[in-house]
Amino acid sequence: MSKQPPIPYDYLPEVPALTVESDDIRDGERLSDKHVFNDWGMKGQNISPHLRWSGAPSGTKSYAVTCFDPDAPTGSGFWHWLLIDLPPEITELPSGAGSGDFKGLPTGAVHTRNDYPRKEYGGAAPPPGSPHRYLFAVHALGVDRLGVDSDTPPALVGFNITANTLARGYIAPIYES
């Protein structure tokens, strides 16, 4: 019997690239325990990484920041973080901005439910034995507001982000427990 090739969950429509950088994480490098979940048998600190971005096209009216694990053994990946409705003048988030009680987010910015399901950043927590990619993405959007609320399921939030994305950039660190 032949094996099926893996389904490429992280294929999205091509759009122009944003530059995304971080003081905390690097593309292809291992996440520190600072960004690992603190539950489900994991003992991380569950702190979202610092992110900054540039290169948004004209017409950008807001940003969304997400963290998605396309390697999760779910059949549909796993959403770790969805922060939407960031105003266009915001181009950097400090470490810890994904905390549900972080007070520094601009008025109107919304954490929507992730797959844990919590309205905040939820760190890496892969099953033992396989490295997972964590796509920390910034999406430049052509709408002021995404039009969803904080209880909207993550896949629907992702659908609305993709439908309104003008440009996107990401950093993809890895983690294996």
Q: What is the pLDDT of residues 28-68, one digit of tens each?
A: 999 999 999 998 888 999 999 999 999 999 999 999 999 99
CA–CA dist 146, 116 (Å, integer): 22
What local confidence, expressed as pLDDT, does residue 72 receive? Answer: 92
What local confidence, expressed as pLDDT, does residue 75 receive? Answer: 84
What local confidence, expressed as pLDDT, does residue 79 receive? Answer: 97
CA–CA dist 73, 149 (Å, integer): 27
pLDDT at 24 over 90: yes
Geometric angle at alpha carbon 91, from 85 and 95, rounded to 5°: 90
> At 111, which amino acid appears?
H
Nearest to residue 38, comparing CAs of 111, 132, 153, 118?
Answer: 118
Average pLDDT, the chain: 92
Q: What percent of the chain has pLDDT over 70?
A: 94
Mean pLDDT value across residues 117-123: 96
**What strand order describes the sheet that includes 110-111?**
110-111, 78-86, 62-69, 135-141, 165-171
What single-letter DSSP state applies at residue 30?
B
What local confidence, expressed as pLDDT, does residue 11 receive? Answer: 67
Half-sphere CA count of 28, side-chain side, radius 13 A: 0
What local confidence, expressed as pLDDT, does residue 177 receive? Answer: 84
The structure's pTM equals 0.93
What single-letter DSSP state applies at residue 158?
H
CATH architecture of 19-175: Alpha-Beta Complex (3.90)
Q: Which of 5-19, 74-88, 142-156 has the lowest mean pLDDT?
A: 5-19
pLDDT in tens, 63-107: 999 999 999 999 889 999 999 999 999 999 999 999 988 889 999
**pLDDT band with cut points at 50, 70 and 90 for residue 7:** very low
> At 80, which amino acid appears?
H
Q: Establish whether the linkage from the previous residue to 117 is cis, with ω within 30° of 0.
A: yes
- Which are the contacts of 87, defined by CB distance < 8 A and separation ≥ 6? 62, 63, 106, 108, 109
What local confidence, expressed as pLDDT, does residue 10 receive? Answer: 52
Number of H helices, E strands in the chain: 1, 10
pLDDT in tens, 128-138: 988 999 999 99
Give me 7's structure tokens: 């389904």
Higher pLDDT, 6 or 86: 86
